[in-house]
Amino acid sequence: MAYFVWTRRQTLASFLAGASVLALGGCSDDGADLPPVSFDHGVASGDPLNDRVIIWTRVTPQEGTTGSVPVSWEMAWDPDLQWIARSGDIVVDGETDYTVKLDVDGLAPGTQYYYRFRVGDQLSPVGRTKTLPADDAQSLKMAVLSCSNYPAGFFNTYRAMADIEDLDLAIHLGDYIYEYGADGYGTDVGNRIGRFNVPSHEIITLNDYRQRYALYRTDPDLQALHAHVPMIAIWDDHETANNSWVGGAQNHAEDGSEGDWDERKAAFTRAYHEWLPIRTPSPDLAAIQRSFQAGSLASIIMVEARLIGRDQQLDYSTDLPFVETPFDFSDPAAPVAITDESVLNSLNPADIRTVKTPFDMTGPVPQPILDYDRLSAFDPENLPQGIDYLPNADKFLNEILATDARELLGQDQEQWLDGELAASTSAGATWQVIGNPVMMARFVFPDLSGVLPKARMDELLEENPLARRFMTFSRLGLPANLDGWDGYPAARDRVYQMAQDSGANLIVLTGDTHTFWANELIDSQEGKRVGVEFATTAVSSSTLGQILKMKDVDLGGAVAAANEEVKFANFNDNGGIVVTLTPTEARADYIAMDTVESRDFKSKTIRSFVVSPNQDGAVGPLRRV
């Protein structure tokens, strides 16, 4: 047994909490009356505060068991669990899927603990956890993670993070599980490496979601991370269904074949709170926004961006208007296009109709076809070669996309976030960190015709519908991702204003895009930097470079060159970010895996940035180190 050094604060805390200093014997002296169980899903901890932390496990009863199971737990200061700080008993049953979740209080701030569970003489693995500091913390090291699709690859990123000895915390920004069935996204890789979804169909019911979480939590690398550090998690869309919002999702059938959306949402949120070491903040299981204080070093503010406030995403296929031309129909037999605004203003409004305008695309500059007899003869669904309709990008950007009414967080959560930022800066915290599932910086896809040879470009556009779509957006100056904050620019402006009003040193941590990003967040009105964004790629899900088959191209460099806010982008690698906060700087190390298709992998830091607080009323610029 290793020697263990006590501090005066730890000793005092144990007696103030009424803690035992003897190892726990369990609920039964010999365990003869207890059902046989196993701890197939490991242990986990999460949502650490200064004086408490959630600890979690699941007892797996023998098949056919339907009754309750008494579970003992113990938390100690030493890895051999000889010096017990807290202990207790709980009874679990099928109502919570035999998951055990406890909020252990009476702990010392900034202190490492070890814990385990027991059913008679049956022991869980030992987990390590740590409370957040309450005083002047000098460092906080966090793994930033997102998008772990079980069949799409091994969770090597989790293993790499679990091997970082001085890691304090893991921040998971969503897509902890994916909802698809056996033929869904990522399963082509799973078929090659032997990782298959359970259940095999798309998950919809409570039992489905429970089974999917159980599958993920059997993964040894995920178990290793959970046993190593506490996790603070929020969900994104795939925990329910792709591109979810308050009233539905892209991947939830509107015809009723996948059931009622509210019932599906209730099933997911219940399973999430059962299987994740999250402190449930309110009876509304969807309201998972919450904050954490790491002494005077940082406030960590986690926002919910899917199920409580988000309006439905706009869709270019249905919401993007096309160029229209007003016509004078005062003579119905010979309508005339109106190209002069003064003429338009002089006409009787009853005589004016707007007509979707086809363009002749055969020349270097598209030319509108304004002869009414000719344009009215076209079949809109089968235009002649060289003729096309043009989107009205200006109208979309300025009249449809930018409306103040479009919500991402919702008004109540916006007010809460405003208060959290103000309270953090008023209390003197150096950093204000927002855990945020979807990308906040502005992003327009670059014109790849300047990056790829013509033959390769033609091949890409012919074979890949996503590439064709991105190129259309690029040429029109439209954002590439309406599911992110780019789809809710007025809501983003309000968050930026909150950060400026509070004097925040804003760091936004982001997931979702399967891409590494380092962004400076710029206020659209005054062009001022209001914060930085460290966005992580996927743990195992396919990256955009893999999807576009462009891993041999410096797509990230082209994206950075085309976007003012983007200082670094990597579309090729899986991995995660390690963010280290100190009173004088925040450092982000971008760590990539060389493969997710084998457990034999190597990881390396591919880029590092630092940023300093309190420069020109915000964080300073990103500096590569």
Distance CA 615, CA 584 (A): 12
Is residue 316 classed as helix, strand or coil in its secondary structure? helix
Peptide bond into 199 cis (omega under 30): yes
Least Cα distance to 537 among 546, 529, 528, 524 occurs for: 546
- For the segment 232-252, the average pLDDT, to the nearest whole number, is 96
pLDDT at res. 526: 86
pLDDT at res. 32: 56
Q: Which of 131, 147, 162 is at the close of a domain?
A: 131
Beta-strand pair 169-172/231-233: parallel
pLDDT at 8 over 70: no
> What tokens does 252 get?
């939830």
Average per-residue pLDDT in the chain? Answer: 91
With beta carbons less than 8 A apart as the criterion, state whether 154 and 540 touch.
yes
pLDDT at res. 131: 98
Amino acid at 11: T
Q: What is the CATH number of the domain that holds 114?
A: 2.60.40.380
Buried b (16+ CB within 10 A) or exposed e, 61-93: beeebeeebbbbbbbbbbeebebbbbbeeeebe
Residue at 549 is within a domain: no
Least Cα distance to 558 among 475, 442, 444 occurs for: 444
Classify 140 in phi/psi space as left (phi over 0), alpha (psi -120 to 50) or beta.
beta
Residue at 62 is within a domain: yes
Beta-strand pair 431-436/506-510: parallel
pLDDT at res. 465: 73
pLDDT at 24 over 70: no
pLDDT at 378 over 90: yes
Residue at 230 is within a domain: no
Other C-beta atoms lying within 10 Å of the C-beta of residue 389: 16
Q: 452 vs 278, which has greater pLDDT?
A: 278
Residue at 105 is within a domain: yes
pLDDT at 73 over 50: yes
Tell me: the pLDDT tens digits for 592-618? 999 999 999 999 999 999 999 998 889
Q: Which of 375, 390, 405 is at the close of a domain?
A: 390
Q: 90 vs 286, which has greater pLDDT?
A: 90
Binned at pLDDT 50, 70 and 90, residue 473 comes out as confident
Angle between helices 454-463 and 465-476 (to 10 degrees): 110
Percent of the residues in the chain that have a pLDDT greater than 90, as a whole number: 79
Residue at 69 is within a domain: yes
The range of the structural domain enclosing residue 363 comes to: 322-390
With beta carbons less than 8 A apart as the criterion, state whether 145 and 183 touch.
no
With beta carbons less than 8 A apart as the criterion, state whether 221 and 162 touch.
yes
pLDDT at 10 over 80: no
pLDDT at 23 over 60: no
- For the segment 267-296, the average pLDDT, to the nearest whole number, is 93
pLDDT at res. 128: 98
pLDDT at 6 over 60: no
- For the segment 65-82, the average pLDDT, to the nearest whole number, is 94
Q: Which of 332, 361, 390 is at the close of a domain?
A: 390
Distance CA 593, CA 183 (A): 25
CA atoms within 13 A of residue 184's CA, in its CB half-sphere: 23
> What tokens does 34 get?
């207890």
pLDDT at res. 31: 54
Tell me: the pLDDT tens digits for 544-577? 888 877 777 888 999 999 999 999 999 999 999 9
Lowest mean pLDDT among 52-56, 297-301, 388-392, 411-415: 388-392
pLDDT at 21 over 90: no
Least Cα distance to 193 among 219, 227, 229, 162 occurs for: 219
- For the segment 149-159, the average pLDDT, to the nearest whole number, is 97
pLDDT at res. 284: 84
Residue at 86 is within a domain: yes
Q: How many domains does the chain have?
A: 2
> What tokens does 83 get?
């010096």
> What tokens does 48 get?
């650490």
- For the segment 511-525, the average pLDDT, to the nearest whole number, is 95
pLDDT at 588 over 70: yes
Helix (H) / strand (E) element for 459: namely: helix 454-463
Whose tokens are 């001022």? That residue is: 528
**CA 171, 173, 177, 178: dihedral to nearest 10 degrees?**
-160
Is residue 536 classed as helix, strand or coil in its secondary structure? coil
Tell me: the pLDDT tens digits for 37-46? 999 999 999 9
- For the segment 506-512, the average pLDDT, to the nearest whole number, is 98
Residue at 112 is within a domain: yes
pLDDT at res. 3: 28
Distance CA 578, CA 591 (A): 7
Residue at 310 is within a domain: no
pLDDT at res. 9: 40
pLDDT at 463 over 80: no
Tell me: the pLDDT tens digits for 112-125? 999 999 999 999 99
Tell me: the pLDDT tens digits for 289-344? 999 999 999 999 999 999 999 999 999 989 999 999 999 999 999 999 999 999 99
Distance CA 602, CA 579 (A): 20
Tell me: the pLDDT tens digits for 179-210? 999 988 889 999 999 999 999 999 999 999 99
